[in-house]
């Protein structure tokens, strides 16, 4: 699990090319559960998909390495809020709400695994 800013995305491999993993369906299903949990926690909506298809192809992502190099099945990058108003420098007043979102997402993912 990697947290990054910004954009409100839950991204999974592959980021280096617009090809699907063998288990894209599983990755997407868990990502959707996390997105729903975030929405319930904060009202914010997150888009779910592969990094290369949601944004653009880019090599060197830790989620790609975790999936392809380390063999970790569920590998994600969560792009934290916002959608451009503050960009990479989200004001400190948002720390608590972003923490609650991240917590909700992780709990949803753990419940998905059960």
Residues designated as active site:
79
Q: Token pair of 15, please?
A: 């980021």
DSSP structural state of residue 40: H
Q: Token pair of 94, please?
A: 């948002």
The Cα–Cα gap between 22 and 28 comes to: 12
User: At a CB cut-off of 8 Å and minimum separation 6, what does 43 contact?
Assistant: none
């Amino acid at each position: 699990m990697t947290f990054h800013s910004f954009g409100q995305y839950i991204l999974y491999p592959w980021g280096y090319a617009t090809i699907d993993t063998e288990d894209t369906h599983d990755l997407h299903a868990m990502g959707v559960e996390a997105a729903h949990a975030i929405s319930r926690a904060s009202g914010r909506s997150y888009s779910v998909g592969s990094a290369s298809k949601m944004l653009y192809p880019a090599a060197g992502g830790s989620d790609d390495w975790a999936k392809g190099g380390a063999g970790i099945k569920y590998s994600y990058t969560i792009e934290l809020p916002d959608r451009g108003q503050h960009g990479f420098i989200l004001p400190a007043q948002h720390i608590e709400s972003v923490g609650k979102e991240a917590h909700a997402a992780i709990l949803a993912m753990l419940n998905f695994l059960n």
